[in-house]
Amino acid sequence: MSMSQENNRPLLEVRNLGIAFTTATGEVQAVQDSNFTVMPGETVAIVGESGSGKSTSALAAIGLLPANGRVNAGQIIFDGQDITHASEKQKVKLRGNQIGMVPQDPMSNLNPVWKVGFQVRETLKANGLPAADEDVTRVLSQAGLPDAEKRAKQYPHEFSGGMRQRALISIGLSCQPRLLIADEPTSALDVTVQRTILDHLETMTDKLGTAVLLITHDLGLAAERAQKVVVMYKGHVVEAGPALQLLRNPRHPYTQKLVDSAPSLASRRIEVARASGVEADDLLAEHPRTSMQAALKQDFVQVQDLTKVYKLRGSWGRSEDFTAVDKVSFAIPRGTTTAVVGESGSGKSTVAKMMLGLEPITSGSIVFDGQDVAKLRGKEMFAFRRRVQPIFQDPYGSLDPMYNIYRTIEEPLKVHGVGTSKEREKKVRELMDQVSLPQSMLARYPNELSGGQRQRVAIARALALNPELVVCDEAVSALDVLVQAQILNLLAELQHDLGLTYLFITHDLAVVRQIADNVCVMQKGTLVETGSTDSVFENPQTDYTRQLLAAIPGAGLINAV
Amino acid sequence: MAWYLVKRLLQLIPVFFGATLLVYFLVFMTPGDPLAALCGDKGCTPGVAAALTEQYHLNDPFFVQYFSYIGGLLTGDLGVNFSGREISEVLAGAFPATARLAIIALIFEAIFGITFGLYAGLKKGGWFDSTVLVLSLIVIAVPIFVLGFVMQYFVGVKWGLAKPTVSGAADWSDLILPGIVLGLVSFAQVLRLTRTAVAENASADYVRTATAKGLTRGRVVRVHILRNSMIPVATFLGMDLGALMGGAIVTEGIFNVPGIGNQLYKALTLGDAPMVVSVVSVMVIIFCVANLLVDLLYAWLDPRIRYA
């Protein structure tokens, strides 16, 4: 075979692939009639929401479907060889040195009981490569892990998330595979870390000539990193083509929706409102009024020199101080949305907890409508809680699985002794309407609801007591982009209708741009920048903010589209 | 780590005093004259009674009795029992049989429990898994003396595969059947524990990653699934060893094993207070030390755990 022929032949070809899962309720067709190809050295991204079958399609290629899944139609051809129903032995041969994988969650993908070096070494050994200490160190440092020789002797729990992901990348590429399947390789990481890691991955695969199959839910990221984008929706490939063309001219309705609501691509707050039916003029007319109101009630919430010090247990029974939040000051005007952004460990969630009165304040003050939160006791605290309500990140964890939806939403009303049971029922039904959930759902339990529906329930519960301030701690981070857009719209509408004030804690700057009036940027416990959203985005004052902004996937594409 | 060890060893002191004080109190404060039990219907001659009263400090207040006993215990002098033998000698004679019995039980439950549990866990929901789950539940539910007598009758008497009772020497071969009976319940528990841990770990993300690295199934099972599943199992086995070393009254009774459990049973029926207190104190110490070792083993098995 001549060289040119070999280069024209796809490295991976998926033809009419069908994958089914056997579940308790019968067979579910997760992937149907799926087609895509990856050429040698090419980067192809599969984009879709969770449950779209994007990971399943890719994992089938190396025979890593869960035990209840199987390929029931079509073919998977790797390098001219049909591997659809290859034996376990053949698959073991392919894995590692022909097809490598970088998995999604760096926290759970390294075995906690083995040293990182050991886990790299066994990969080299299994694929017949030299596996001396130097080789392990070399492989790890190539993935950008600093101080690799020492790090190889540590356990995964001694690594940060970014470092673990580097270790996983080094494992995935250690045997120089021809195809690398990168399954959401950075979605669990902070944006800045995400960017350096993706850059590094790109440099490495370019150098090795590795083809990459990138699986992601983020269209912006896909367009930025891949030459070709494959869009999957409900188990079908709905559209495929060159990245930029797909962004400029999406054909399938789902792709169009995805392009519209990709937070990393939407550039104006107005666009969200427009999607929800509010006219741009309305919104513009709205703003002067709210800002006037804001001027009148400037001191709705005032945070002054807020500090939180935790005592960490050190060696030999001594304790060390750790300052999680260091002299942070900002104000939240009534009826507006203030976002606190930062990477994990920046102290943003600690601010939220103190705001909710869930965590004692070490020093400084939070003045809520003229009351010092730190001084509230007993009854006053109870009354304060009624006016300030939280919505948390994880809609799976923050709803009691033993409570049905009605009981969940009614509980705060009951606790605060609001109304008779008839009145409460009326209120719950009203709330269900406000968050656009059908009344029929009241008797259901949280495990019967989707992530977006659960987050709506959490919002309804937060609104039950007619609060004035709602603290949203990463309230949309766990949701798919489209659902995320719906929830953000809902929050914007509710703010408009009920005059709510939001404190929005998030790591996602793209979300900030869509929802916030003011932004506070936090880094390692301190406030590095604060200002209106537009000024922070258009004219960032500190390097850190610039870094964060540059790291939004697809940031460079906004102008291109 | 060193600090943790020191702390844990210091904790043993109040546990030791608390447990011995309680046992001492219960045994010595039971109504009736301890000398009456000793000398039988005839009663002791005044001379003997005086000597014994002196020896056990019977006329002194409770705490003086207790501390003189503890003082002896700490210097290695456990005193003599009612039949006049040195208690330390009796214990030294009984301990080897108990230790052999415990080791056989532990090896049996570890090897079979882990093997069956691993297989059941890997094929969760299969016929082997279902069968083994039901059988293990039966073993756990049926009292050990029933299992003991049934096995003694069939294996020992009817089929003649093993000696139904143990001779005075209590050799390894004599103790195989009693060891298996003693280990049966723990075997079922080890099996269930292993099975659950294996089933859970088999679907863990790092197992999938290990497979994606190109490792063979055998290596994935050994190095990633089994190794991680051993954390709870090893903890259980360690605790069990502590319990087994303290003697197994029922099993030793059924098979007539001359071990610690048997001695304790005899001492209890005779009301031999010094003997009971000594045996229980030794059991408490063995159990506490085994517990400490288990905690250290746990930290060694799971590097995420650090004691400070």
How far is the C-alpha of A274 from the C-alpha of A284, rounded, in Å? 11
Size of interface A-B (CB pairs under 8 A): 88
Residues of chain B with Cβ-Cβ distance to A97 below 8 Å are 214
How far is the C-alpha of A264 from the C-alpha of B197, rounded, in Å? 41
Q: Binning pLDDT at 50, 70 and 90, where does residue A471 land?
A: very high
Contact state of B209 with A126 under an 8 Å Cβ cutoff: no
Of the candidates B82, B89, B99, B97, the one whose C-alpha atom is nearest the C-alpha of residue B275 is B82
Contact state of A175 with B214 under an 8 Å Cβ cutoff: yes
Indicate the length of chain A as a whole number. 561
Flag whether pLDDT at A289 surpasses 60: no
The SS3 of residue A31 is strand
How far does A538 lie from chain B, in Å, by closest CA?
A: 41
Average pLDDT over every residue of A101-120: 91
The neighbouring-strand residues paired with A310 are A322
Flag whether pLDDT at A290 surpasses 50: no
How far does B137 lie from chain A, in Å, by closest CA?
A: 25
Q: What is the structure's pLDDT at B37?
A: 62
Phi and psi torsions of A337, nearest 5°: -115, 125
Contact state of A64 with B217 under an 8 Å Cβ cutoff: no
Identify which of A62, A94, A109 has the shortest CB distance to residue B206.
A109
Identify which of A100, A155, A175 has the shortest CB distance to residue B303.
A155
DSSP A254-299: HHHHHHHH-TTT---HHHHHHHTT--HHHHHHHHHHHHHHHHHTTT
Contact state of B212 with A101 under an 8 Å Cβ cutoff: yes
DSSP A312-354: EE-GGG-EEEEEEEEEEEEEE-TT-EEEEE--TTSSHHHHHHH
**Window from B1-5, B62-66, B221-225 with minimum mean pLDDT:** B1-5
Stated pTM of the model:
0.75
Taken in order A421, A427, A430, A434, is the CA torsion positive or negative?
Answer: negative
How many CA atoms lie within 13 Å of A62's alpha carbon, on the beta-carbon side?
A: 33
Q: Binning pLDDT at 50, 70 and 90, where does residue A223 land?
A: confident
Q: Which of residues 202-241 of B touch A (CB under 8 A)?
A: 203-206, 208-217, 219, 223-224, 227-228, 231
The SS3 of residue A306 is strand
Give residue A432's identity as a one-letter amino acid code.
M
Give the DSSP letter of residue B40. -
Site of tokens 């020093």: A363
Higher pLDDT, A511 or B115: B115
Flag whether pLDDT at A264 surpasses 60: no
How far does A451 lie from chain B, in Å, by closest CA?
A: 22
**Window from A34-43, B42-51, B267-276 with minimum mean pLDDT:** B42-51
What interhelical angle do B273-301 and B260-270 show, nearest 10?
A: 150
Contact state of A127 with B203 under an 8 Å Cβ cutoff: no
How far does B3 lie from chain A, in Å, by closest CA?
A: 6
Residues of chain A with Cβ-Cβ distance to B224 below 8 Å are 111
How many CA atoms lie within 13 Å of A78's alpha carbon, on the beta-carbon side?
A: 23
Please name the residue of chain A whose CA is at the shortest distance from the CA of residue B226: A113
Q: What is the structure's pLDDT at B36?
A: 64
Identify which of B205, B213, B217 has the shortest CB distance to residue A96.
B213
Q: What is the structure's pLDDT at A269?
A: 42
Flag whether pLDDT at A287 surpasses 70: no
**Window from A243-257, A483-497, B30-44 with minimum mean pLDDT:** B30-44
Identify which of B208, B214, B224 has the shortest CB distance to residue A92.
B214
Average pLDDT over every residue of B68-95: 80
Of the candidates A258, A355, A207, the one whose C-alpha atom is nearest the C-alpha of residue A46 is A258
How far does A95 lie from chain B, in Å, by closest CA?
A: 4
Contact state of B303 with A95 under an 8 Å Cβ cutoff: no
pLDDT per residue over A90-102, tens digit each?
999 999 889 999 9
Please name the residue of chain A whose CA is at the shortest distance from the CA of residue B302: A113
Q: Binning pLDDT at 50, 70 and 90, where does residue B196 land?
A: very high
How far does A104 lie from chain B, in Å, by closest CA?
A: 9
Average pLDDT over every residue of A267-274: 41
Q: How much of chain A is helix, strand and coil, in % rounded to 5? A: 40, 25, 35
Q: Binning pLDDT at 50, 70 and 90, where does residue B33 land?
A: low
Provide the ipTM. Answer: 0.79
Rg (CA), chain A: 26
Please name the residue of chain B whose CA is at the shortest distance from the CA of residue A98: B214
Q: What is the structure's pLDDT at A555?
A: 62
Q: Binning pLDDT at 50, 70 and 90, where does residue A1 land?
A: very low
Average pLDDT, chain A: 83
pLDDT per residue over B255-291, tens digit each?
888 888 888 888 888 777 778 888 888 888 888 888 8
Contact state of A111 with B302 under an 8 Å Cβ cutoff: no
Taken in order A37, A38, A42, A47, is the CA torsion positive or negative?
Answer: positive
Residues of chain B with Cβ-Cβ distance to A157 below 8 Å are 303-304
Q: Binning pLDDT at 50, 70 and 90, where does residue A491 land?
A: confident
Flag whether pLDDT at A4 surpasses 50: no
